[in-house]
Structure 1
Amino acid sequence: MADGPQPDQVGLRFLSQAYRVRKVLDEHMVASGLSLARTKVLQVLDRTGSIRQASLAGELGFAQRTVTQTVESLERDKLVERRSDPSDGRAKLVALTEAGATALAASTRAGDQLLQRIFGSLDPEQLAGLAELLDAIDLATGAG
């Protein structure tokens, strides 16, 4: 057996750590009013403006059913509004409301504060090294 960390062991540790950071981030963001998943939906709407639900699902990489359920929930909370697409009455456009923009800003601030606390605990050299490692992982997975 080779000395030093093995790729599979490091990979599993990385996945566990990523899950833990995501869980803590989601809990922190929920305390500010929105889950991470709901925040992602609102971020796309903030960036794109009105968008068809099918396109929203594609932007997020989520199943259309999941997006429909999330949009329905966000609509009940008055954070988004749905209306018929003028070019195709069967399709629905989803848009961010003013209340949604306010909730998005609060959630984003909460998430940014937590990420600053977590990753701000690294010194500049460690942070730069982590960024390089993440770039290498992106390349290895075809994302970069």
Structure 2
Amino acid sequence: MTLQEATVAALEEKIGTLQRVLRRLTVASLGPGRPGAALQAVMRLLAESGECRARDLCTDLGVGAPVLSRHIADLEERRLAVRRRDPRDGRSQLITLTPAGFAELQETGDSRSALLRRALASWPETEARNTSEAVDRLARTLDSYLREHPHPPPPHHGPDAGTPEAG
């Protein structure tokens, strides 16, 4: 089954809008001095993954090594994460949250959840549950595709789209 271009474009636009609003929601739920939205994203991924390699975090977050290194340094300075050399590969580092990092993540998550609960107070439970299931399915589908196709070719646009280029 092939999706229409207009449907894909609309979905992409709605996802972009959702990303921006969720970033604002995260910022709105943070108190003064709390790690910002970018650090929160790193911390959530560390909490989900447990101890993991920096390279894997870069892939999962979609950021380069210099950006991640700055984020990890900031988390280390705040004593929310630690890194150590990977004993299996001395060139790699393993990163994990500290107990303080888990506590910080729990507090900010509780604050964000309370804000989300207030924002969605007018939604019927079934609509919220159905939306949650649809978002979960979308996330799993996209994640699965990207894991199976880590370097997808760029889309080809032009009059002969869909046909191999003559070289």
Q: Above 0.5 in TM-score?
A: yes
Contact 2:25/2:112 (8 A) holds in 1: no
The verdict on how the C-alpha distance between 1:69 and 1:18 changes in structure 2, with shifts beyond 3 A counting, is: closer
Report the counterpart of residue 23 of structure 1 in structure 2: 24
**Higher relative contact order (CA closer than 8 Å, sequence separation 6+):** 1
What secondary structure sits across from 2:29 in the alignment? helix
Cα deviation digits, residues 33-74 of structure 1 (max 9, x gap): 232321221122222221111111112222222211100100
Q: Which runs of 5+ in 1 are unaligned?
A: 1-5
Distance in 2 between the 1:116 and 1:12 partners? Answer: 24
Aligned residues: 136
Cα displacement (A) at 1:129: 6.7
Report the counterpart of residue 96 of structure 1 in structure 2: 97
Report the counterpart of residue 51 of structure 1 in structure 2: 52
Structure 2 residue identity aligned to 1:45: L
Cα displacement (A) at 1:113: 1.0
Cα displacement (A) at 1:11: 7.7
TM-score, normalised relative to structure 2:
0.63
Q: Which runs of 5+ in 2 are unaligned?
A: 1-5, 145-167
Report the counterpart of residue 42 of structure 2 in structure 1: 41
User: What is the Cα-based RMSD across aligned positions, in Å?
Assistant: 3.2
Cα deviation digits, residues 11-50 of structure 1 (max 9, x gap): 8688556524531332322548232321221122222221
Amino-acid identity (%): 23
Report the counterpart of residue 161 of structure 2 in structure 1: none
The verdict on how the C-alpha distance between 1:53 and 1:12 changes in structure 2, with shifts beyond 3 A counting, is: closer
Q: How does 1:59-74 map to 2 (within 5 A)?
A: 59-74=60-75
TM-score, normalised relative to structure 1:
0.72
Contact 1:28/1:111 (8 A) holds in 2: yes
Distance in 2 between the 1:47 and 1:11 partners? Answer: 26
The verdict on how the C-alpha distance between 1:101 and 1:125 changes in structure 2, with shifts beyond 3 A counting, is: closer
